[in-house]
Amino acid sequence: MVDVQLRVNGTIETLDLRPRVSLLDALREHLGLTGTKKGCDQGACGACTVLVDGERINSCLTLAVQYTGRSITTIEGVAGGGEPHPLQTAFIRNDGFQCGYCTSGQICSAIGMLAEHAAGAPSAVTEHLASRAELTDVEIRERMSGNLCRCGAYNGIADAIGEVAAAAAVQEVTETGAVRRGSAAGAARQATTAEAAR
Amino acid sequence: MTLTQAQSPPRPGASGRLVGKPIDRVDGGAKTSGAARYAAEYPYPGLAYAALVHSTVARGRITGIETAGAAAVPGVLAVITHENAPAMKPAPPMSVLNLSSLATGTRVNYLNTDEVHWNGQPVAVVVAETQDAALHAATLVRVTYEEFAATVGFTAEEPNAKPQKSDMLQSGSASKGDAEAALAAAPVSVDLRFTTPQHNHNAIEPHATTAVWDGDRLTVHEGTQNVAWVRDHLAARFGIPAGSIRVISPYVGGAFGGKTMVWAGTILTVLAARVTGRPVRMMLTREGVYRTVGGRTPSAQRVALGAGADGRLTSLIHTSVTQVGRVGGGPEQVTSQSRHLYDAGAILVRQSLVELDTLSNTIMRAPGESIGTFALEAAVDELAYKLDLDPIEFRMRNEPERNPIDGKRFAHRMLREAYALGAERFGWSARTPEPGSMRDGRWLVGMGVASAYHPSWQLPANVTVRLSADGTVLVRCGFHEMGMGGATAQAQIAADALGVPFEAVRVEYGDSVLPTGPGAGGSGQTASVAASLLTACEKLKRSMLALARRSSGSPLRGRRLNGLRARDGGLWTEPGPGETYAAILARAGRPHLEVAVGSDTRVGAMVGQARFMAKFLRDRRRWMKAACGAQFCEVRVDPDTGEVRVSRWVGAFDVGTVINAKTAAAQLRGGIVMGIGMALSEETLVDPRNGRIMNPGLGEYHVPVHADIPPIDVCYLGDPDPTMPLGLIGVGEVGITGVAAAIANAVHHATGRRVRDLPITLDKLL
Ligand code: FES
Ligand code: FES
């Protein structure tokens, strides 16, 4: 058994685990945070996506012991100050789910994806690697392709993410006066700020 | 993505205030916050975890089972095998008089036999204190077998297929005229063979069960499409009364047919809980789902069509071979749509079956029609090309007035209108028919079209509706929610019928203690519940009025219900006075009023079932009821690699009244997405030597991902079906039908190549 200390949704959790326990099982079975889902336990579906220090990972593919001292955000922790995260409400408005089983992973993944995009990370469909890609529907879909939705709510999910990214971009324009069309930096910043606040 | 809805006004009965509106799902908050609990997410003190060990041979007898290694893993509580498992009763025999007998996944009495019937059959269960210990220990169980010869190859066995017998629910063959002779005489004809592989549902939630015994009482948390079937099946297997079992299933993480039957995992979790005296949870591994839960049968189909030079069909032949397991499964209505879609002079449909030493096949979204429409609609496209006719024009020339196979009337049929709407939205007129004639840069562009078709069903549903003095309404019915938005739709219906705000209605579902609802299947749940719910609301208003009329102070005194309108939380004369339900109840000193439709007493259930059967048979004699539609797609094919990308989609559907424009569109889109997977990437690979599934995981079985799915434009005609409650026809399955054919036809248009063997992978286009 090993001692593992995780900061989960702002709370320090100390666990005594067998070293083979995945971060996903630690969250679901040991901490009772069942919002993070298990769809394959093999890194193939994305249902288990959580944020570690703001970056998205498949929690089924990692051992809990790897994350000692790191800050983990699960779906239970994405809302800030009693307000749902803008993506949560956008998913409802755009019907970005059916059964809801992939939804936690989609939302966490989208938060991480927006941060990656804001940081200038290109994707496989980005044409000019030097400049920041516009967050088009095609870019969103490419960047979200690690998160399967067997119910086929893909259109709603992409719409929800696009909506939040666009709203954040508008906010950014009004804040800075600099026009960056289609940018998602604002949304990502919002996400990471919520993260830091915990 | 806009939605077209309701050109025509709703019929009486639907006030239309809420019905039809794109209302957000009532469970959206729970599902987007992680608060929704699925079957494997109920905490219990002392919870133990179970994991399965699967056989590695297709047929044989266990000669030795070595469990010491597994038992030695710290935390392991039990290793249950056929040598030490308590006796269970065999699966009840199937009977149409007891629909829950259809719940049997396989006839194998797990761990009560040393016989192995398919490659992957569970041969041991390990129970441990933790999930990881159970999974690890399961890998340490060593089993030896005496292997028997097994028949596992579908293609090899195809010549030995036997004709499917007809029964009360399904018919294996039908004909009109001499279709073979008409085919031989036809000036223009095609005679084609199509094949489709096995598919697996791959709901993102793997099958999971949490089982808790309390003496002889059993509580089961299970993601299921039929809580009553799970309850009744477990009662039969464990020899306890159904009344002692509660099955709870408020959230199901996707199902698509795969969570209809009761499979090994459910039964063995209950067994493990009994053996260890602990609450036990088992979530199948993804591989475990493939090994123990059936998939869609593979198929081989022949479609032969003959037409005159005028483009009128003179002959339509559609035959199919599908597989069942020797231990279970059933025929699929592969030729169903071919009895209803075209006004051919002569028709022959015939379904045959091979029986293999494999896991049972099972229902998966539009069993039959999903693969049947692929063959029929691709063949129709081929014939249209031979006739030099636009494929839509060809279909319009052969659109029937009455059901082609038997001349019955259609309850509702607006396929022409669906094509007109779809063609307009898609821009079909911009298509140049010559294959390979359209390009976008280096991409070859193709446009294809196909008909969607799925019969509509209505099942028995018992409901209660309670109206309380605070004005709230509680609807209770044991129906199921796997993502269809059932609670939202039924709340809309109840709110309209009673004239109360949407927010005032709460719907309880997914629990076997509730009045027995329909299973989620056959696209029939919404209509089935709606029918009973409307009756209940009517009854409730009558009772309310009766209560009001007893009091001299009520403005409703002396009034009759048909002179009143239900609105603003009460009953009102138009435009004059009326009264709220709350006021009526308050005056009568009643906390609430409750009505029930259907009964779950023994006699009540029998009456309900008999009534259902009578209505089912009567309806079937009178009408042909179905949803239909037109699927339009545009593909881009890379001329060098053969890669196919779907770039545009329009689906125009005739699904009667739409209750919720948001959730209905989601169902239809979901079907189209699954159809895109079926067309281009999905295939369960079975080793023909030993019957073992070779790609039991999401890394090797390719379901569509975000990048594969363009914006899907879904539109519907909104014209109510006069024979269905509120005029609604189910939307759960029609969406997947026709999809694979539309894609195959578009690929042909882009490349000139006909691929008749799904999936259309790149190698088939090079
Ligand atoms: S559960 Fe982690 S990727 Fe599927
Ligand atoms: S909502 Fe069911 S898998 Fe995405």
Burial class (CB in 10 A: 0-12, 13-18, 19+), B141: buried
The pTM (predicted TM-score) of the whole model is 0.94
A33 to chain B: closest CA residue: B34
Q: Provide the token pair at B254.
A: 């996707």
Q: Is B293 domain-assigned?
A: no
Residue A101 CB less than 6 A away from ligand 2: yes
Determine the distance separating the centroid of ligand 2 and the alpha carbon of B415, expressed in angstroms. Answer: 30
Q: Provide the token pair at B417.
A: 């209108």
Is the CB of residue A33 less than 8 Å away from at least one CB of chain B? yes
B25 to chain A: closest CA residue: A92
pLDDT of A132: 80
A22 to chain B: closest CA residue: B132
Question: Number of helices and strands (H, E) in chain B?
Answer: 17, 30
- Burial code (b: 16+ CB inside 10 Å, e: under 16) for B463-479 equals bbbbbbbebbbbbbbbb
Residue A148 belongs to what H/E stretch?
none
- Greatest alpha-carbon pair distance for chain A in Å reads 55
Task: Judge contact between A152 and B671, C-beta under 8 A.
Answer: yes
> How far is CA B723 from each of CA B15, B17, B42, B624, rounded to the nearest angstrom?
18, 21, 42, 10
Q: Is B258 domain-assigned?
A: no
pLDDT of B651: 98
Mark whether B549 and B636 lie in a shared domain: no
Eight-class DSSP state of B54? E
Residue A191 pLDDT > 60, yes or no? no
Strand partners, B210: B221, B281
Residue B196 belongs to what H/E stretch?
strand B188-196
Fold of the A86-197 domain: DNA polymerase; domain 1 (1.10.150)
Mark whether B546 and B557 lie in a shared domain: yes
* Separation between Cα atoms, residue B374 and residue B319, nearest integer Å: 13
C-beta atoms of A100 and B711 within 8 A: no
Residue A150: which of B49, B203, B669 has the nearest Cβ? B203
> How far is CA A106 from each of CA A153, A166, B208, B677, rounded to the nearest angstrom?
11, 18, 21, 20
* Separation between Cα atoms, residue B691 and residue B357, nearest integer Å: 8
* Separation between Cα atoms, residue B272 and residue B65, nearest integer Å: 18
pLDDT of A184: 42
Residue A149 CB less than 6 A away from ligand 2: yes
* Separation between Cα atoms, residue B617 and residue B621, nearest integer Å: 6
Q: If you average pLDDT over residues A176-184, what whole number do you get?
A: 45
Collapse the DSSP code of A103 into the 3-class scheme (helix H, G, I; strand E, B; otherwise coil) and give the result.
helix
> How far is CA B316 from each of CA B396, B505, B556, rounded to the nearest angstrom?
16, 50, 61
Backbone phi, then psi, for B194, in 5-degree steps? Answer: -125, 145
Interface of A with B in 58-97 (CB under 8 A): 74-76, 79, 84, 88-89, 91-93, 95, 97
How do residues A78-136 score in pLDDT, each as one tens digit? Answer: 998 889 999 999 999 999 999 999 999 999 999 999 999 999 999 999 988 877 888 99
Q: Provide the token pair at B469.
A: 């003095």
pLDDT greater at residue B224 or residue A182: B224
Chain B residues in contact with A99 by the CB 8 A cut-off are 31, 203-205, 251-255, 482-483
> Residue B681: CB partners within 8 Å, gap ≥ 6?
B702, B703, B704, B708, B759, B761
Q: Is B554 domain-assigned?
A: yes
Task: Judge contact between B175 and B349, C-beta under 8 A.
Answer: yes
Residue A40: which of B27, B254, B698 has the nearest Cβ? B698
Start-end of CATH 1.10.150.120 domains in chain A: 86-197
Determine the distance separating the centroid of ligand 2 and the alpha carbon of B669, expressed in angstroms. Answer: 12
Query: Ligand 2 pocket: which of A97, A144, A145, A155 to mutate (most atoms <8 Å of CB)?
Result: A97
In chain A, the N- to C-terminal Cα span, in Å, equals: 29
Residue A60 CB less than 6 A away from ligand 1: yes
Domain holding B705, by residue range, is 410-456+625-766
* Separation between Cα atoms, residue B99 and residue B96, nearest integer Å: 5
Residue A172 pLDDT > 80, yes or no? no
Is the CB of residue A47 less than 8 Å away from at least one CB of chain B? yes
Mark whether B510 and B553 lie in a shared domain: yes
How many structural domains are present in chain B?
2
Mark whether B595 and B468 lie in a shared domain: yes
Mark whether B439 and B518 lie in a shared domain: no
CATH match of A2-77 with 3.10.20.30: yes
The domain boundary residue, chosen from B577, B600, B619: B619
Chain B residues in contact with A154 by the CB 8 A cut-off are 673, 704, 706, 709
| Cis previous bond, B575, omega within 30 | yes
* Separation between Cα atoms, residue B108 and residue B122, nearest integer Å: 10
Å from B272 to nearest chain A CA? 19
Q: What is the strand order of the sheet B115-116 is part of?
A: B115-116, B60-66, B142-147
Mark whether B504 and B605 lie in a shared domain: yes
Residue A7 CB less than 6 A away from ligand 1: no
Q: Is B431 domain-assigned?
A: yes
Question: Measured on CA atoms in the order B128, B129, B135, B136, is the torsion positive or negative?
Answer: negative
> How far is CA B653 from each of CA B415, B416, B561, rounded to the nearest angstrom?
8, 11, 36
C-beta atoms of B698 and A95 within 8 A: no
Residue B336 CA, distance from chain mean position = 16
The 3-state secondary structure of B229-294, one letter per residue: HHHHHHHHHHCCCHHHEEEECCCCCCCCCCCCCECHHHHHHHHHHHHHCCCEEEECCHHHHHHHCC
* Separation between Cα atoms, residue B462 and residue B601, nearest integer Å: 11
Interface test with B, best of A154, A157, A163, A164 (most B CBs within 10 A): A154
Å from A178 to nearest chain B CA? 30
Q: Which ligand is nearest to the CA of B670?
A: 2
The domain boundary residue, chosen from B619, B648, B668: B619
- Burial code (b: 16+ CB inside 10 Å, e: under 16) for B407-442 equals ebebbbbbbeebbbbbbebbebeebeeebbebeeee
Chain B residues in contact with A39 by the CB 8 A cut-off are 204-206, 286, 698
Residue A144 CB less than 6 A away from ligand 2: no
Task: Judge contact between B324 and B85, C-beta under 8 A.
Answer: no
Å from A83 to nearest chain B CA? 11
Determine the distance separating the centroid of ligand 1 and the alpha carbon of A42, expressed in angstroms. Answer: 5
Mark whether B432 and B471 lie in a shared domain: no
The closest-lying atom of ligand 1 relative to the alpha carbon of residue A146 is 3
Residue A150 CB less than 6 A away from ligand 1: no
Mark whether B695 and B765 lie in a shared domain: yes
* Separation between Cα atoms, residue A188 and residue B739, nearest integer Å: 37
How do residues B172-187 score in pLDDT, each as one tens digit? Answer: 999 999 999 999 999 9
Q: How confident is the model at residue A188 (pLDDT cuts 50, 70, 90)?
A: very low
Burial class (CB in 10 A: 0-12, 13-18, 19+), B396: middle
pLDDT of B16: 60
Q: If you average pLDDT over residues A19-25, what whole number do you get?
A: 94
Å from B707 to nearest chain A CA? 5
pLDDT of A127: 87
Mark whether B536 and B597 lie in a shared domain: yes
Average per-residue pLDDT in chain A? Answer: 88
Counted across chains A and B, CB pairs separated by less than 8 A come out at 184
Task: Judge contact between A44 and B158, C-beta under 8 A.
Answer: no
Q: Provide the token pair at B637.
A: 């094919």
From the CB of residue A134, how many other CB atoms can be counted at a distance below 10 Å?
16
Query: Ligand 2 pocket: which of B204, B256, B703, B706 to mutate (most atoms <8 Å of CB)?
Result: B204
pLDDT of B352: 97
C-beta atoms of A88 and B286 within 8 A: no
Triad B669, B671, B672: Cα angle to 5°: 65
Mark whether B749 and B613 lie in a shared domain: no
Task: Judge contact between B53 and B284, C-beta under 8 A.
Answer: no
| Cis previous bond, B759, omega within 30 | yes
- Considering only CA atoms, which residue is closest to atom 3 of ligand 1? A43
* Separation between Cα atoms, residue B766 and residue B745, nearest integer Å: 17
Residue A192 pLDDT > 60, yes or no? no
Mark whether B661 and B752 lie in a shared domain: yes
Mark whether B587 and B642 lie in a shared domain: no
The 3-state secondary structure of B423-460, one letter per residue: HHHHCHHHCCCCCCCEEECCEEEEEEEEEEEEECCCCC
Determine the distance separating the centroid of ligand 2 and the alpha carbon of A29, expressed in angstroms. Answer: 22
Q: Which ligand is nearest to the CA of A104?
A: 2
Residue A40 CB less than 6 A away from ligand 2: no
Burial class (CB in 10 A: 0-12, 13-18, 19+), B636: buried
Eight-class DSSP state of B159? G
- The ipTM is 0.95
Residue A193 pLDDT > 60, yes or no? no
Burial class (CB in 10 A: 0-12, 13-18, 19+), B766: exposed
Is the CB of residue A144 less than 8 Å away from at least one CB of chain B? yes
Residue B50 belongs to what H/E stretch?
strand B48-54
DSSP result, B11-30: PTT---SSTT--PPPTTHHH
> How far is CA B308 from each of CA A38, B318, B391, rounded to the nearest angstrom?
56, 19, 15
C-beta atoms of A92 and B662 within 8 A: no
Determine the distance separating the centroid of ligand 1 and the alpha carbon of B262, expressed in angstroms. Answer: 25
Interface test with B, best of A18, A74, A95 (most B CBs within 10 A): A95
pLDDT of A185: 41
CATH code where residue B540 lies = 3.30.365.10
Strand pairing class (B217-222; B245-248): parallel
Please give the positions of B annotated as active site. 733
Residue A48 CB less than 6 A away from ligand 1: yes
Residue identified by tokens 């009854």 is: B539
Residue B131: which of A25, A42, A140 has the nearest Cβ? A25
Strands (E) located in A9-121: 11-17, 49-52, 55-58, 71-73
pLDDT of A182: 40
> Residue B218: CB partners within 8 Å, gap ≥ 6?
B211, B212, B234, B238, B240, B244, B245, B246, B270
Q: Provide the token pair at B192.
A: 């084609």
* Separation between Cα atoms, residue B348 and residue B180, nearest integer Å: 8
Chain B residues in contact with A137 by the CB 8 A cut-off are 711
* Separation between Cα atoms, residue A35 and residue B447, nearest integer Å: 42
The parts of chain B modelled with pLDDT lower than 70 are 1-16
In chain B, the N- to C-terminal Cα span, in Å, equals: 34
Interface test with A, best of B698, B706, B739 (most A CBs within 10 A): B706
